């Protein structure tokens, strides 16, 4: 009986279930502290390191659900994934959920292969800047705008001043440079998979979005399917999917409560204004998602 049990154990050891680590990247992409529960390199680096550090891991899968945000944080996360993939010699598969658009699609580019659900929204390879102008409003309220700078461009596109053509031109120049960077990244990562016609290229980089089937035709993704289905198809029915999530300690939970209600030992000012920051963050997040009907 003992020898039979050892034989079974030896078979299991020689043919272990393949492990695929899964990291969820969900939310608006923003610098640390800008929005609560945002995506940035600071709060994803450890998760990625843990995923690639699993002994014998066959692949790392990224489950992406993001309408975009900071292009810098998007690029930093994507590059960290590629660096780890190269260092550990582990393939990366990325999966779009509801939306992988703009910076969210940049995250998807970290994958050696990109997949999406049939109803996923993919693309938005462009750059946007939006805001409001209030010069007439403050004039009607009898408010005088006072602004002092050292450097003639320091108050570029100040929302309380009249819009200047040269300021708009400068903004568009910066956006154009950022757009070229994004386009170069897509071409580098997708290569010959992109539809090569001139009309298709203009379409791909127009800032438009597509559902999965059209995105696949343009070469923006490699296939259609859900994460578990694709992983079982690729690695077998016995594949072990290991979700990598943020570890929360009891102390961290108590600290979060303290911060929410103003903290222990402070004046309470942070707690009094925290709700306003949360409200503005929620509005900003809502605007990002509503751009795609979500």
15 shares its domain with 60: yes
Same domain, 283 and 141: no
What's the average model confidence in pLDDT over 63-82? 94
C-alpha–C-alpha distance, residues 44 and 69, integer Å = 15
**Considering the domain boundaries, does residue 28 fall inside one?**
yes
Q: What was the pLDDT predicted at 91?
A: 97
In a domain, 196, yes or no: no
Residues 115, 223: Cα–Cα separation, whole Å? 5
What is the per-residue pLDDT across 175-212, written as a single tens digit (0 to 9) for each?
788 888 898 999 999 988 998 777 888 898 888 999 99
**Quick one: 69 and 8 in the same domain?**
yes
Please, is 44 exposed, middle or buried when counting C-beta atoms within 10 Å of its C-beta (0-12, 13-18, 19+)?
buried
Residues 3 and 147 in one domain: no
Q: Are residues 115 and 219 in the same domain?
A: yes
End of a domain among 191, 216, 239?
A: 191
Residues 78 and 5 in one domain: yes
Overall domain count for the chain: 3
**pLDDT greater than 60 at residue 12:** no
| pLDDT greater than 90 at residue 88 | yes
Question: Does 198 map to a domain?
Answer: no
Instruction: Give the pLDDT score at 264.
Output: 42
- The string of DSSP letters for 48-107 reads HHHHHTSTTEEEEEEEEEE--B-HHHHHHHHHHHHHHHHHHT--EEEEEEEEEETHHHHH
- For residues 9 and 99, membership in a common domain is answered with yes
Per the domain annotation, does 140 fall within a domain?
Answer: yes
Q: What percent of the chain has pLDDT over 90?
A: 47
Residue 20 lies in a domain: yes
Examine the domain organization and report whether 15 and 66 are in the same domain: yes
Residue 222 reports pLDDT greater than 50: yes
* 103 and 212 part of one domain: yes
Same domain flag for 40 and 137:
no
**What's the rounded mean pLDDT across residues 215-221?**
95
Which position has the higher pLDDT, 127 or 265? 127
Q: What is the SS3 assignment for 152?
A: coil
Mean pLDDT across the chain: 81
Residue 269 lies in a domain: yes
Q: Under 8 Å CB-to-CB from 164, ≥6 apart: which residues?
A: none
Task: Give the per-residue pLDDT at 259.
Answer: 47
* CATH number for the domain that contains residue 63: 3.90.226.10
CA quadruple 178, 183, 186, 187: dihedral positive or negative? negative
* Residues 232 and 96 both lie in one domain: yes
Specify which residues 22 forms β-bridges with. Answer: 61, 243
Neighbours of 48 (CB within 10 A): 23
Lowest mean pLDDT, pick from 59-73, 96-110, 144-158, 280-294? 280-294
With respect to residue 197, please indicate whether it lies within any of the assigned structural domains.
no
Residue bearing the bigger pLDDT, 83 or 249: 83
- Residue 156 domain-assigned? yes
What pLDDT shows up at residue 282? 61
Same domain for 264 and 222: no
What is the extent of the structural domain holding 285? 253-294
The yes-or-no verdict on residue 172 having pLDDT over 60 is yes
């Amino acid at each position: 009986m003992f020898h039979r049990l050892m034989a079974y154990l030896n078979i299991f050891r020689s043919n272990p279930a393949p492990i695929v680590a899964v990291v969820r990247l969900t939310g608006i992409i923003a610098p640390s502290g800008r929005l609560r529960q945002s995506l940035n390199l600071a709060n994803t680096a450890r998760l990625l390191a843990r995923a690639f550090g699993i002994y014998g891991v066959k692949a790392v899968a990224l489950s992406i659900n993001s309408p975009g945000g900071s292009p810098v944080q998007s690029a930093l996360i994507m590059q960290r994934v590629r660096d780890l993939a190269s260092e550990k010699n582990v393939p990366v598969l990325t999966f779009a959920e509801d939306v992988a658009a703009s910076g969210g699609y940049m995250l998807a580019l970290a994958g050696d292969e990109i997949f999406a659900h049939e109803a996923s929204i993919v693309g938005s390879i462009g750059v946007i800047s939006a805001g409001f102008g209030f010069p007439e409003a403050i004039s009607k309220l009898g408010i005088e705008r006072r602004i002092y700078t050292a450097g003639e461009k320091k108050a570029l596109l100040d929302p309380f001043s009249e819009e200047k053509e040269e300021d708009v031109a400068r903004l568009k120049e910066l956006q154009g440079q950022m757009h070229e960077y994004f386009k170069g990244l897509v071409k580098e990562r997708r290569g010959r998979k992109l539809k090569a016609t001139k009309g298709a290229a203009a379409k791909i980089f127009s800032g438009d979005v597509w559902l999965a089937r059209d995105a696949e035709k343009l070469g923006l993704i490699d296939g259609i399917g859900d994460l578990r289905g694709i992983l079982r198809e690729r690695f077998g029915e016995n594949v072990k999917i290991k979700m990598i999530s943020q570890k929360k300690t009891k102390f961290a939970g108590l600290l979060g409560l303290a911060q929410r209600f103003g903290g222990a030992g402070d004046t309470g000012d942070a707690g009094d204004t925290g709700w306003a920051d949360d409200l503005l963050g929620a509005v900003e997040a809502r605007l990002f998602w509503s751009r795609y009907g979500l």
